[in-house]
Amino acid sequence: MSIAMLYKYHENRPRNRSASSEAPVRGGDAEADTALAASYPSKSPHRWRRDMTNGENRVITHVRAQMKSAHWLLEETISDVSDEMAHFSLPGKALPIAAAYVHYVSGEDWLIHSLFQGAPPLMAGPWAGRYGVSEPQPGPGDDWASRFEAWSRRVRVDLPAFRAYAKEVYKATDGYLATLADPELTREVDLSAMGMGMQTVGFVLDNALLGHAYCHCGEISALKGAQGKKGYPF
């Protein structure tokens, strides 16, 4: 179920239930709530909280938790990557780790700031010239795939500098999501430059952020394995 569909489900679900005919709604039993919360690992980025029982903005609350989880996994996966590992290239078309990491994080920066809010991304604002990348990835346009492949082979990344920038991108993403109400998920944004026409904010969050993060995290893990290293942090 996509994020936009999940919102519509919650928006259209029955709200006025008869107390005599329905079971009590989860969240009213403090002892049970405490037991449920304790059943989750204390360090989990998406640890259950009492405020999640509130019916308002449940989908955005879920999305924020999922984004924190994705950011945590990506950063833990990249945490032991050396400069040599980051720029290692396999034969064929697989991206080097550095290129995959830059592609995802700078893309998130652009989506959150420029696409959703009409503002410059951090890499063109306070982090311009100091986010650790030798050259930005090519923008959409003619022959993008060839231009992107060539860029992925020559880009050089200062990992400590870029990881500091990534931390600020993640912080900005969470701050933006914290301002949203669930109906914002159905607002349309223009992805025509990428060949996808008009899509909803929910579609972008679902595919270009959450799904995209996990795809590249898996790619980075596999590239670490190809170099004889442990991929994921668990």
Domain count, the chain: 1
pLDDT confidence tier of residue 154, bands split at 50, 70 and 90: very high
Strand partners, 198: 190
CA separation for the pair 202, 184 (Å, rounded): 8
> For residue 83, is it within any domain?
yes
This prediction has a pTM of 0.78
> For residue 121, is it within any domain?
yes
CA separation for the pair 64, 176 (Å, rounded): 10
> For residue 102, is it within any domain?
yes
How many CB atoms are closer than 10 A to CB 165? Answer: 22
CATH number for the domain that contains residue 134: 1.20.120.450
Angle, CA 53 vertex, CA 48 and CA 54 arms, to 5°: 130
pLDDT digits over 78-117, tens only? 999 999 999 999 999 999 999 999 999 999 999 999 999 9
pLDDT digits over 173-190, tens only? 999 999 999 999 999 999
Query: Which residues constitute the domain of residue 131?
Result: 57-226
At 8 the pLDDT is 54
Residues 6+ positions from 196 with CB-CB distance below 8 Å: none
> For residue 233, is it within any domain?
no
> For residue 26, is it within any domain?
no
Amino acid occupying residue 206: D
